[in-house]
Structure 1
Amino acid sequence: MRLHALSVTAFGPFGGTVDVDFDHLGADGLFLLHGPTGAGKTSVLDAIAFALYGVLPGSRRESRRLLSDHAAPGVVPCVELDATLGGRRLTIVRQPEFLRPKRRGVGTTKQNAKATLTWHDGRGENLTRIDEIALEVERLLGMRVDQFFQVVLLPQGDFARFLRARNEERGALLEQLFDTDRFRDIETWFQDQRRASAERLAGRSESVDRLAAQVATAAGVDLFTGTDVVEWGTDLLDGAREQARARTEHLRTARAEHAVSRETARFAHRRREARERGAAAAARLAVLADGDAERAEQIAELDRARRALPVRDRAVTLDQHRQRAAVAAATMRRREQAAAETDAAVLVGTLSWPPRPADAEVLDAAVHRWSGERAVLDSVAGDESDRRTAVADRERALARVRSLETDLRAVRVRLDAVPAERARLDADHRVAVAARAGLPGLEARHQGAEDAARAHVEWARESERLAAAVTTAERARTRYDDLRTEWLDLRERRLEGMSAELAAGLEDGAPCGVCGATEHPAPASPTAGRVSKDDENRAGQRVSAAEVERTTADAAVQRCRQRVDELATRCADRTAAELAAELDEATTALAEARRAADRLTAIDTALAALDEETAGLRVRADAITAELGVTRGRTEALETRIAEATARITAAVGTTSTVAERRAALDAAIAAAVAWRDARRDADSADQAVTRLETDLAECAREHGFTEVTDALAAVRDRARCTVLENAVLDAEKQRSAAAAVLAEPEVAEAMAGDVVDTAAVDAEEIRLRGLLDEAIASAGDADSRLRMLEDLVAQLWAAADRLGPAHLEHAELEQLAEVVAGKGANARRMSLRSYVLAARLEDVATAASVRFRLMSQGRFEFVHSDDVGPRGTRGGLGLDVRDDYTGVVRSAGTLSGGEAFCASLALALGLADVVAAEAGGITLDTMFIDEGFGSLDSGSLDAVMGVLDELRSGGRTVGIVSHVDEIRDRVPSRLEVIRERHGSTLRVHAGV
């Protein structure tokens, strides 16, 4: 890695833009970065780190406020670095996240970070994503950001702390620089494996205990307390097998005894049941013999009922026809009464009953006569309908005439009112046009009045701010004068006591800085109230701060005064009341003009609508006049039609009735005569049918064995009674047959011939033996169930016990190995695997650092790596001591003096840089910076250190030293000076000679 150029804008203490040409500055391989404390030396290194990785080193990494406080408003902070990384030259430009003033309104808004990477050789795509640039830089440099800050930017004070740190603290730094993640993963893997193995072993042990408890429960014994659980389970299993065999044999004996007893009880019950069935059958036959006479009567009654059924059916049919004849006679009488109420009344009383053939001819002749008269009426029915239609049309025409006359009057009234309305709209139109033409002037007047009123309010506010700013400026000037007077007084007092201050730095044998004498017989003594250089510097700083405050306050007064003058000009020396009255007047006039102008469109629309309405009214009046003439002519024609139709109707029917009324009377007479004729015919037919059926009923009764019809009807029985009689006869026959069949059975006959059987004794014996059998079944089932359960559980117990032994051995081996990897157990040095790796890296660092430490200490000191266990058993392997060749003693680094400790820290930093560079693939670090305190070195030690630094720049390497020690400034001709100023720091380059 080689740096070529750096440009920094508005970053940290640099308010403007500063540029560094590292090719020119480091031409001889060594340059000095110096300046007063707080000027920004470290900020140059921060800018380089930020350009490469986008973050700051060390504790400043979390800072997000990188925009310079000295930067002018609107300036964008930026860092641009031109460098060669991994053999390729590139330019990186980064802008950090910062807050900028809002473009509109007040306040600030966040501006996100940006970055670009541009290749000088043109190969590959330029990058603009921040994450991609960081990955590319890390790839080209071959080291992470933490490694870069330790190797290229050797940080101030870090290695002094590293030198004196405890093992844990030193290990934390080494873990940042060297990749030990894979070794940490190995340690974690061993811990996870040990934990998993312990869980598996605990699970298996728990499984064995659980199985033993289940075995004890199944066998009904106490929990296992011995040493060999397998033998204990096997003994329980053997006992269960013996018990199961004994109970199975007992069950076989109980089943045989119960089978014999059950068969004996079944035979006894069958004999008793056969005897009972035989006795019941004999008793039933005796009962049936007693009812034979009653059943003979039932059979005779059933026979008469069956023969009477046809007679009953004929009687039912005769009754139905008699009812129909009665209905027909009643209908005939109603039809005769209806005919008497019509023109057929002349025929009532002239017809006989029973009817004669000539009666029907009389009725038909009357109907024919009335039909002819109805045909004559049909010829004038059309005239009557036409007259009704004409009368209705005449009424509608008259109503239309009246409606048209009303509409015509309304149209003429509206046309008379149009001229006045047109004149009013024309006047409103002229007013609206004038108002719209005057709007621009009124709006400008209103805007001016509003701006003047607003300016007056702002003028009052700015006047108050001006008064406050003047007061603040007066206080700032007073404070500046007081502090400057105090500073001049302190400076004068320090000059007066300068001799004592110079005398304080004299040493015996050392030349005086003023006269050069090596003897100092009467050095000046400090007086009371002596002023030191620090006192003077602090007072000067307070003066500078007060001056800045005074200048800022004066600028604020100037800005406020200028603003007040501008606002007073806008107000034109008018009072607030005058401005308010003017604004109210302008607002009212503008509102009225806008309302009038807004009505212009509505007025134009109203005028157009009025013209259109006028034209429509004229057309409407003409149309109504024409329709009125036509309707009046139609009314006169309808009057003529009505008169002609009335004359024809009167000639046909007279004036007493209408055609419709006469037609209705004829229709009623015809309908009544026809209905009367049909009813007489139906009644005559019904009477004749009844006479025939009476003769048939008497003949049917004689055919079925009955003298009279009444005898046959008396023998009729309903369906339910017949069913009862049939069922009674059939049931008796079935019972007689069933009883005879039972008595004929051999088993029943044998039982009836033998003695009575007592079943109570055999039932009691069968129940007793059945109870014994149930007990034997339950006992054998329990034994078999316990045996099966124990066989399964003991088999599982054997398998679990077989797996538990090897698992114990495997876990013990894994646990011992995990303890060793973690730095515990048999690990005598208490070094974990990761510590072992770091110890190897630290040993390499100590070897590399010892070379330079011996050079800086003129061969006196070198580093010694220690892998001893730390105090109170803490981890070892990361100890770092110093061997003193003057005494041959290895001692702690904390016993070194200030200058010796600086040399040790610098040598350690350079050695660590060499090892990290080699770890990163042997990269070449062409540019590096050392930010350490050289002020603790004497001239001899400084010579040795400078010799080492001269050696570093061999091979084209450039080394930058960050220091404010004056003696180094004399030794290093190429310098980059950081100058602290009031408005931000700047850089000045002093090229070497």
Structure 2
Amino acid sequence: MRPLRLDLEGFGAFARHASVDFSDVELFAITGPTGSGKTTLLDAMTFALYGETPRMGRKGLKALLHPGTKKAWVQLVFRLGDEVWRVTRVIAGKTEARLERQLGAEWQLSSASEKVKTLNAAVERLLGLDYDAFTRAILLPQGRFDAFLKGDSRERRELLFSLYGLAGLAELRERAVARLGELRERLAAAQQRAEVYRDASEAAVEAAREELRGLREERGRLAGEIERLEKEVRRLDELAELWQEKARLQARRQALAAETGRMTEVEGWLERARAAEKALPEVLRLEEARARLAKQERELEKLESAYRAISTKWEKHNEAFDEGELEDLRGRVATLPLLEAKARTLAVLGGAEGPGPAAAYDERAYREAEERLRALRERQRAAAEAERLRKRRDELARRREELAGELRQKKAALENLTAEGKRAADEVEKLRARYEEEQKRASVAAYRHLLEPGKPCPLCLQEVGRLPEGTEVGPLARLEEALRAKQAELQELRGQWSETSGEAKGIERQIAELEKQLALLEGDLKRLEAGAPVEVEELAELEQRLAAMRRGLAQEVAGQTGGQEPGAYARALRERLARLEKQAREGERLRRQAEEASVALRAARERRQALAEALAPLEESVAALLQQLGFASAAEVAPARRSPEELAQLEAQLARWREERGYVEKRLEEVGRLLEDKPRIEPAELEQKKAQLTGLGQRRAELESRLGAAEERLERLERDLQRRREAEKEAAELVQKVGVWEQLAEDLKGHKFPDYLLERLQLDMLARASELLFTLSQHRYRFRLTDGVYHVEDLWTGAVRPAKTLSGGETFLASLSLALSLSEHLSRGRLGALFLDEGFGTLDAEALELAAEVLEALPTQGRMVGVVTHVPELAQRMPARLVVEKAPQGSQVRWET
């Protein structure tokens, strides 16, 4: 299983939608501040797959909701072999779940999505891992990192059986026994079938073949006799049929001759109908011309009435309309824009406030005075702003001096911490050298009881000259304790130095910022102080001049409107003009309508004259045509017509009569030639021949029945013989298979074979884990497996002890080695991902460096390895980093390479 994409919203620290694309990463770190939601991402994947999390289980799912939301959802897309699956879970009141498989560009919903319980079981079947196996082999969560190392051996055995696919071996023997029973049943059935077909032999088959050959020869002789008699019967049948046909044709010729008179009448009807069809178009055209003339006369009457009505309305409108008043109003309205412009100017200037003298308004002079007044007021505001900036400059200068003093103190503290750090580092190196020397002595002294002077050493096989001096454990332990204390002191000094250095850099940044602000203030002050002082008398004189021009403009506007408000005055003029213009448009419309009615009336009169002139020659031509076709008047044309169906029926009737009469005459002639010199056939002679043929047919049917029985008997004997041979062959093969499966069932008794396979696989996995632990522990520890319990061998002391006795940091290194080895071992199968979620913060600098090197050198081979850490040094070593950022509105994630 390899994750491809994770989406979540309202889950844990992620109030808003967050999405993580894992498709193109292998080794990466998940990093961010404490509480940002790093572990929440792993909880989301576990919840999507199994509906529970290591921290909350299944019962505390509501606690996974972000405090500001009432609904959370998680969606995980992952790959299994060549298939891509998507599982979605929602927390809202009750948990909802959905499992889908990708088919091309579409997602197909799995039937397991109907219930959460069935979906959970489907996910376990897909992954081949239950929840406990997943959290021990793929996702190692906080608080459970060492569960595989220190866990119960029985549970670990069951987990490894599941991971390595050995659980099926327990069922393999049952399948072997069932297969053996099935083979034995098949063997008995094959032997029974061979016994059933014991009568089928080569001799019986050959006898049946000989009998079949004799029957087939007899059938050939009978077939020749039947063929000769059939030809004779067919010849007699054909002659009898010709004599009968001749009699039928003679009777039909007499019947057709009797219908000759009626067919002549039908032919007359057809000719009259064809003449009517020729006359009909001209008759219809004449009727249509008369109808058009009548219609045109009615239309002419309507147009004359409409013309009289519109002419009357136009005359009444002209009497009531005054064209002079309209022209006067248009002139007055044309001056309104200038008046409105003056009114808008007066409104913009603020009106003519207060009493006082009035002056003529001059726009240019007004704008110049106004601009001068604005400049004087701006200089007043600049003087006030300059005073404020001088006070701000003095405040910033005082703050700069204070920060400069703090910076000098921090730099002095850094110098002291640097000196103390160098001293502590020298002491650590000296203590480490003494400790390593003492440790080597202690390691050699640990084998002192195995050495004897004059005998070979069991390790190097060299002769022992003298025994090494013994050593006490106390000094070594005190050196180790002193070394750890001094390392802790050095680490504390480094932390103080980093903190003080950061504070000093912060003060330097503040000073630089103050310098920028002071430079800007000095520039602003120079610009503000460069202006000339303001004259108060000039200000007052400018304000009085502007007010006088505003009063003059107000008097001019009032004189034009007669004291009326300018807007109301303009609206009244425009409304009156609109009414008069509307009346003018109405008059123009009536005039156009009268002209159009006059034109239409003239055109209608001309059309009526043209139609009347064209009707006379048409009437003459139609009368001539009717006379030519034999009609006395146009009224006779319609009754003479026939419908197309009736015409077709009469023509077909006449054609059939003629065709049949011709056929009967021709066929009588042909039959007469065929019967020339041919005698009449007697019915008794023909019946005798047919009786003989029937008897031969019965003999052939009996022979065919005997022949079919013989063929069936031969086929059955051949089939039974083949089945007997197949049954005997199958029985022989099944005897061999039964022997093989009996041996396999015997070999699979008990648990020896599964335990043997598990031991070999576990030793292979522990060998790789030992290599990793040997590197991470600086060549001190290796793994040992004793009675299913994990032990570690201390190469410094030679002792082998249970893994539970390791310290916190050593436990983490051992668990990390096991996790990486197990993931590598199984990555060739179903495990395509590994997530580590704790422990790196417990390591010292050297162990952390070794862990980083091991992770960097890890052969991913398409497998994804994610490390959750808040240690910056480790995160920076990873090829990619998934950064989790904490914010009040919810955490977000981003990739960083």
Q: Same-fold call, TM > 0.5? A: no
Instruction: Look at both structures and tell me which one has the larger radius of gyration over its CA atoms.
Output: 1
TM-score (norm 1): 0.30
State the TM-score, normalizing by the size of structure 2. Answer: 0.33
